[in-house]
Structure 1
Amino acid sequence: MRKATVLFKGEEAADIWQEKDGSFGFRYRDAWFADPLRPSIIFRMPKSQQEYRSEHLFAYFFSILPEGGFRKRLCRDLKIDEDDDFGLLLRLAVEDATGAITLKDVEDV
């Protein structure tokens, strides 16, 4: 399993991971969920204690990945398989993220 912490404006808000079978999971951290002042960070995944599951990378995260020729060149330069959406996300959202959501503590579990 590959896993990362999702930060919202620099604060730990959730975890995202990819299982060995290729499916994905997302869950808000308990402290984030318990604080009524903390917002949902992704519109289609409201703040909840439930674990969100998907066979594909969640739409929000997929939407921040590059496309086309830029993706091909970037994957080649980073030595990442072009079909490895999660691997690309982990590299880009940790090192070159823009906006309120970033990733950290990338782990191979």
Structure 2
Amino acid sequence: MTNKAKVLYSGKLAGYLEKNDSGYTYMYDTGYLKSDQPMPISQTLPLSEYPYNSHVLFSFFDGLIPEGWLLNIASSHWKINRSDRFKLLITLCRDTIGAVTVLPDELEEEAENG
């Protein structure tokens, strides 16, 4: 399983989320930052050329994960432990209601090469 995800904002690559030994890192893509009027993916993750680090999954990303009965169905269907928030995020947040989409890094590479 990948420990890195691409974060899209309105279909454009905005940055990268990575799960590592010390927690999580989010970094905006330099091309996105230099693009015409880039938007932050969240008020808690304003535009920055520097990485954001957290010991736990950033609350913005955690908030994208479904709750309640939908989480129960999703976690049992894909056999994902409910405490594995990163795997839930990259599995369940490929088609969100809002402008932000999270894709496992290898899926995006397959789409680009396919």
TM band (smaller chain): 0.7 to 0.9
Q: Determine if contact 2:57/2:85 at 8 Å carries over to the other structure.
A: yes
| Closer, same or farther: CA 15–99 of 1 in aligned 2, 3 Å | same
Q: Taking every aligned residue pair, what percent have the same amino acid on both sides?
A: 30
Name 1:10's counterpart in structure 2: 11
Q: Deviations over 1:59-93 (max 9, x none)?
A: 11111212234323321111111100010000111
| Closer, same or farther: CA 22–65 of 1 in aligned 2, 3 Å | farther
Distance 2:70 2:100 in 1: 22
| Closer, same or farther: CA 22–89 of 1 in aligned 2, 3 Å | farther
The answer to whether residue 42 in structure 2 is matched with residue 42 in structure 1 is: yes
Cα-Cα RMSD: 1.7
Q: Which amino acid aligns with 2:101?
A: T
| Closer, same or farther: CA 59–104 of 1 in aligned 2, 3 Å | same
| Structure with the larger RCO, 1 or 2 (CA within 8 Å, 6+ apart) | 1
What stretches of structure 1 of length at least 5 have no aligned partner?
none
Aligned length in residues: 105
Name 2:110's counterpart in structure 1: none
Q: Which amino acid aligns with 1:100?
A: A
Distance 1:59 1:41 in 2: 12
